[in-house]
Amino acid sequence: MIENEPDGLCCRWSAGYYNVGTDSFLTRFDAIMGRQLGVLYNIAHFRLEYRDFALTHYAGQIDEVRRRARVQPGLQFYCSFHVTPQMLPAGGQLRIRLPQLDYTVIDRTDRSEAHNKSIDLLRAWLSPIQLTEYDNQDHFTVRGSDTGTNYRLIPAYSYNILELGENGEPNGQKFCVVPAERVAMGDQLLAQKIWLETDERATLKIANKLVRSDRGDGDGDNNRLSLAEITREAMRLFRNSSTLLQNINAQADAHNGECP
Amino acid sequence: MMRFHIMDHTGHSTLEFTAEQKADASAKFAELLAEKKIVGTRKEGEMDYRKVKSFEQIEDEAIFTPARVGG
């Protein structure tokens, strides 16, 4: 379950954790936890009471994330709370284990020399339009060499390539393809820009893909669309196989007729 | 002056070659191309990213990106 808040933070329940953070972190969370759990969203234990519990008892920490995100919008912050059924009201009593250690606010800013060098190189190779976009919004748009599709590259180490729809906004399709060697963020973004602008098809062919709606309006629409497409493809294959079997049977009958 | 930017953990290394070192640059290009798979170039000062196949396609500056893998 994803909730988009007015100040740009995203809140989500996943696998018993309530996460509040900027989108870049949640993207990373998807890649890590989604792979470990084998599912993207594990909300089997989700109950509205959990959310209310977290919002009430962790309000201070959530406000701190909001405050830091407003002050430094280009950075990534998050806090994560583990909520279990045992922590919820039981028998009229609230059993609370306030896990102070479960709360973290992480400043993921990389201020290393390598990072700064890579950003300088990236900025030198961005087009004027891309540079303006990057300076103002901390991301930039590239156009795919084969399909002309626009992609938004955001500074994150996984699933940071967001496909844009006709309205210029992310349509929920994300890609993850990165340099085989660990490189600084600026170098990674520049490499991805070059790949997409010169060899889009081959790049996306090996990319990991994630289809999801981030807009909060009709979460899962893309998945339903994909399911419909899969169903159509399955029906087509079935019809083809049925025709093939009929042809084989017809050939077998003809063959039997020739050789009694 | 010809510049090769090679992406690595240091936030890229830059190799510079003078006109007299063209043979050295060509040899290094071949070595990097074999390892790094893809190159971005500038053309006459403008952005012109291409998948470079020969040393002669590089006018003044090139970026060598590492091989790519699914994230």
Both tokens assigned to A71: 């002050």
Indicate the residue of A31, A118, A179 with minimum beta-carbon distance to B11: A118
- pLDDT on residue A24: 44
pLDDT in tens, A25-41: 444 433 333 333 333 23
Greater confidence (A222 vs B43) lies with B43
DSSP state of A102: G
Compare all CA atoms of chain B with the CA of A114 and give the residue at the minimum distance.
B11
A vs B, Cβ pairs < 8 A, gives 102
Q: Is the complex ipTM higher than 0.85?
A: yes
User: With an 8 Å Cβ cutoff, is B12 touching chain A?
Assistant: yes
Q: Which stretches within A163-212 are classed as H helix?
A: 185-206
Distance from CA of B58 to the nearest CA of A (A): 15
Mean of pLDDT values over A186-206: 93
List CB contacts of A74: < 8 A, sequence separation 6 or more. A138
User: What is the rounded CA–CA span in Å between residue A190 and residue A180?
Assistant: 14
List CB contacts of A76: < 8 A, sequence separation 6 or more. A21, A22, A24, A25, A106, A108, A156
Greater confidence (A131 vs A229) lies with A131
The answer to whether A191 touches B68, Cβ cutoff 8 Å, is yes
Confidence bin at A107 (pLDDT 50/70/90): very low
- pLDDT on residue A69: 63
User: What is the rounded CA–CA span in Å between residue B68 and residue B65?
Assistant: 8
Please count the residues of chain A.
Answer: 260
Which of A97-101, A122-126, A191-195, B59-63 is the least confident region? A97-101
Between chains, do A183 and B63 touch, taking CB under 8 Å as contact? no
Indicate the residue of A177, A191, A199 with minimum beta-carbon distance to B70: A177
To the nearest 10°, the Cα dihedral for B11, B2, A153, A146? -140
